[in-house]
Structure 1
Amino acid sequence: MTPLALEPPAEEPVSLAEARQFLRLDAADEDDLLAMLVTAARLLVEAASGRCLVDQHWRIALDRWPRTGEIRLPLAPVSAVLAARVYDSAGTAQQVAPGVLTLDRAADPPLIHMSQSVAEPGRAHGGIEIDVVAGFGPTAASVPAPLRQAVLRLAARWFEERGDVASRDAASLPRPIAALVAPYRRVKL
């Protein structure tokens, strides 16, 4: 199972104005840098938590349908299944009928249940594609406050302590920021 990002979030969980206010910056001359740091901080918080923050479109590629009839998604939270297709041996996509795949949003990790049998793919690799929306919601206001605070604090840390601090943080989040992310972290067993 391979997740592929199709479309980034329409907005970051922390706006440029919020980041500028947090850092007490009046001038806008470093807005490009600050915006880049907010995006980088979001990506690191998403990686550390195993959660997508603001809604974004992803494609899940599968080689074959699971025998159990359940697809455990590698992304969370997932709010919608947009489309699903199966490729035949000629490489032509056949749409999966709506209602055949049902999303269980309450499960963690999210599950897609197959309500009936579906055509088997005609190619060995990536013969099934499922497009989903992953994230807490379409706006920054949908993201839990501790995760937004983690993004804000991490971006501010990188802004204030320029240099190699970003590469050190990539190995593990600083403790105060890790504490904000911990309740949302997906644990793999």
Structure 2
Amino acid sequence: MTPLALEPPVEEPVSLDEARSFLRLDQADEYDLLAMLLTAARLMVEAACGRCLVDQHWRIVVDRWPQEGEIRLPLSPVSAILAARVYDQAGLAQPIDPAALSLESLSDPPLIRIAGGVPTPGRDHGAIEIDVVAGFGPAATDVPAPLRQAVLRLAARWFEERGDVASRDARALPVPIAALLAPYRRARL
């Protein structure tokens, strides 16, 4: 199973104005840097806790339908299935009836259950594509406050301590930021 990012979120979980206020930053010449750090911090927080923050579109690619009839998604939370298709032997995408798949968004990990007849894939690899919306909601305010605070504090840390701090944080997040993420980490087996 391969998750592919199709569209990033339309906004970051922390706005540039919120970060500027937090840092007490008035110089406009640093705004682009701060915006880039906010995006990088969101990506780091998403990777560390295994959750998408603000709604974004992803494509899940699988080779074949699972025998047990359910696909455990590598993304969380997932709120909707946008589209699904199966590639036939000629390499043409055949749409899947939306009623054939059901999303169990409250399970962790989220599950897609095969609820009806689905076409048989016509190729061995990358035969099934399912497009989903992953995230806590479309707005920054939908993201839990501790996760927003982690993004803000991580971006502020990188802004204030420029240099190698980001590469150190990639190996192990600072304890106060890791503590904010702890309740939201996806269990990995």
Alignment TM-score, normalising by the size of structure 1: 0.99
| Superimposed CA distance per residue, residues 120-170 of structure 1 (whole angstroms, 9 cap, x where no aligned partner) | 211111000000000000010000000000000000000000000000000
2-structure distance, mates of 1:123, 1:168: 43
AA in 2 matched with 1:38: L
Q: Percent identity?
A: 77
Query: Which 4+ runs in 1 deviate beyond 2 A?
Result: none
- Give the superposition deviation at 1:119: 1.3
Q: Which residue of 2 aligns with 1:159?
A: 159
Matched, 1:9 2:17: no
- Give the superposition deviation at 1:29: 1.2
- Give the superposition deviation at 1:117: 3.1
Alignment map for 1:22-33 (pairs within 5 Å): 22-33=22-33
2-structure distance, mates of 1:28, 1:53: 27
- Give the superposition deviation at 1:172: 1.3
Q: Which residue of 1 aligns with 2:79?
A: 79
Query: Contact (CA 8 Å) 2:99, 2:116: kept in 1 or not?
Result: no
State the SS of the aligned residue for 1:30: helix
- Give the superposition deviation at 1:98: 1.4
2-structure distance, mates of 1:154, 1:179: 12
2-structure distance, mates of 1:128, 1:110: 18
Q: CA RMSD in A?
A: 0.6
- Give the superposition deviation at 1:68: 0.6
Alignment map for 1:22-61 (pairs within 5 Å): 22-61=22-61
2-structure distance, mates of 1:9, 1:2: 19
State the SS of the aligned residue for 2:5: strand
2-structure distance, mates of 1:140, 1:68: 36
Q: What is the aligned residue count?
A: 189
Alignment TM-score, normalising by the size of structure 2: 0.99
AA in 1 matched with 2:26: D
Q: Which residue of 1 aligns with 2:188?
A: 188
State the SS of the aligned residue for 1:183: helix
1-structure distance, mates of 2:112, 2:65: 11
Q: Which residue of 1 aligns with 2:147?
A: 147
2-structure distance, mates of 1:142, 1:17: 18
1-structure distance, mates of 2:27, 2:158: 18
Q: Which residue of 2 aligns with 1:120?
A: 120
AA in 2 matched with 1:110: P
- Give the superposition deviation at 1:99: 1.2
AA in 2 matched with 1:137: G
State the SS of the aligned residue for 1:3: strand
State the SS of the aligned residue for 1:116: coil
- Give the superposition deviation at 1:53: 0.1
Bigger mean CA deviation after superposition, 114-123 or 164-173: 114-123
Alignment gaps of 5+ in structure 1: none
Q: Which residue of 2 aligns with 1:102?
A: 102
Alignment gaps of 5+ in structure 2: none
